[in-house]
């Protein structure tokens, strides 16, 4: 399979290595140094594109691929208010668009576990729920896309929380997310349930970018063969 990489930072390079190990070829690389070359990228040059760029460029990158018959997998976070527009562009062009805030299989199991626990804990208001996410200092958006997905999953099961905030909060209807940036941390996410007598927590700790990159390549393999708008639940069938 021919893969075009859009974004060639640490994640892009890891995806490249894993894709080649799985027998694929890299047919194009678009990065900040040649970003104008995306205008020439289309479905005749690659079977699928994998996009890990920056929030400010993701929308144009993805829409270009969808309008030029190139299935695309994206993991860029920090721009998701525009995603419904891209979903519609995909449908209008009979395209293929796969998005996930996190491609790690372990994280997606964690998403599912988070929703189950939230459904149980809503019956016990003595437990105050909060979240923490830690990433490397190069990550520009906060909270992380993974933390937002966790927050949305939790709120879907607990109507007492109506919104998340990226700061400490004492408001009962707000879900507090604390973001920390520390050198060389691939990603750690924790959901806490604190009461006066004990604490329950669930936590996912990534040890490297390998899990994210492998999941993105698996998603690309799947997306190249399917048409529509997809996410990790379509690929993994876990919820």
State the DSSP string of 123-165.
T-TTSEEEEEEEE-TT--SSS-HHHHHHHHHHHHH-TT--EEE
d(CA 86, CA 113): 29
137 and 199 inside one domain: yes
| pLDDT tens string 125-137 | 999 999 999 999 8
Residue 237 vs residue 181, higher pLDDT: 181
Q: Which of 139, 161, 189, 204 is flagged as catalytic?
A: 139
24 and 58 inside one domain: yes
90 and 140 inside one domain: no
What's this model's pTM, rounded to 2 decimal places?
A: 0.80
pLDDT tier for residue 101 given thresholds of 50, 70 and 90: confident
Evaluate if residue 213 carries a pLDDT over 80: yes
* CA angle, residues 202, 207, 209, in degrees to nearest 5: 115
Residues of the chain above pLDDT 70, percent? 100
189 flagged as catalytic = no
165 and 81 inside one domain: no
How many Cβ atoms from other residues are within 10 Å of residue 171's Cβ? 11
Q: Which of 182, 181, 183, 145 is nearest to 164 (CA)?
A: 145
pLDDT tier for residue 110 given thresholds of 50, 70 and 90: very high
128 and 64 inside one domain: no
| pLDDT tens string 53-94 | 999 999 999 999 999 999 999 999 889 899 999 999 999 999
First to last CA, the chain: 29
Q: Which domain holds residue 228?
A: 2-103+210-236
For residue 209, the model assigns a pLDDT of 84
Domain count for the chain, please give it: 2
174 and 116 inside one domain: yes
42 and 90 inside one domain: yes
237 flagged as catalytic = no
What is the rounded average pLDDT of the residues 38-43? 94
What is the rounded average pLDDT of the residues 91-111? 94
**β-pairing verdict for 174-181 and 128-135:** parallel
Q: Which of 64, 135, 161, 204 is flagged as catalytic?
A: 135
d(CA 93, CA 220): 18
What is the rounded average pLDDT of the residues 171-187? 93
Mean pLDDT of the chain, nearest integer: 94
29 and 75 inside one domain: yes
116 and 156 inside one domain: yes
**β-pairing verdict for 128-135 and 188-194:** antiparallel
For residue 186, the model assigns a pLDDT of 86
| pLDDT tens string 145-169 | 899 999 999 999 999 999 999 999 9
């Amino acid at each position: 399979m021919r893969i075009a990489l859009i974004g060639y930072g640490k994640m892009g390079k890891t995806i490249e290595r894993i894709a080649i190990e799985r027998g694929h070829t890299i047919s194009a690389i678009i990065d900040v140094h040649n970003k104008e070359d995306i205008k020439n990228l289309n479905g005749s040059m690659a079977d699928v594109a994998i996009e890990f760029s920056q929030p400010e460029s993701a929308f144009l990158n993805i829409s270009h691929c969808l309008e030029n018959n190139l299935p695309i997998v994206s993991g860029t976070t920090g721009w998701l208010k525009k995603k419904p527009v891209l979903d519609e562009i995909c449908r209008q062009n009979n395209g293929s668009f796969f998005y996930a805030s996190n491609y790690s299989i372990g994280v997606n199991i964690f998403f599912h576990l988070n929703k189950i626990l939230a459904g149980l804990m809503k019956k016990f208001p003595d437990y105050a729920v909060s979240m923490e996410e830690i990433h490397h200092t190069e990550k520009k958006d906060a909270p992380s896309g993974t933390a937002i997905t966790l927050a949305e999953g939790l709120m879907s099961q607990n109507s007492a929380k109506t919104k998340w905030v990226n700061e400490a909060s004492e408001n009962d209807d707000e879900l507090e997310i604390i973001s920390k940036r520390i050198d060389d941390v691939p990603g750690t996410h924790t959901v806490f349930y604190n009461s006066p007598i004990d604490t329950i927590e669930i936590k996912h700790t990534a040890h490297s970018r390998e899990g994210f990159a492998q999941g993105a390549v698996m998603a690309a393999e799947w997306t190249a063969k399917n048409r529509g708008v997809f996410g990790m639940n379509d690929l993994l069938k876990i919820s």
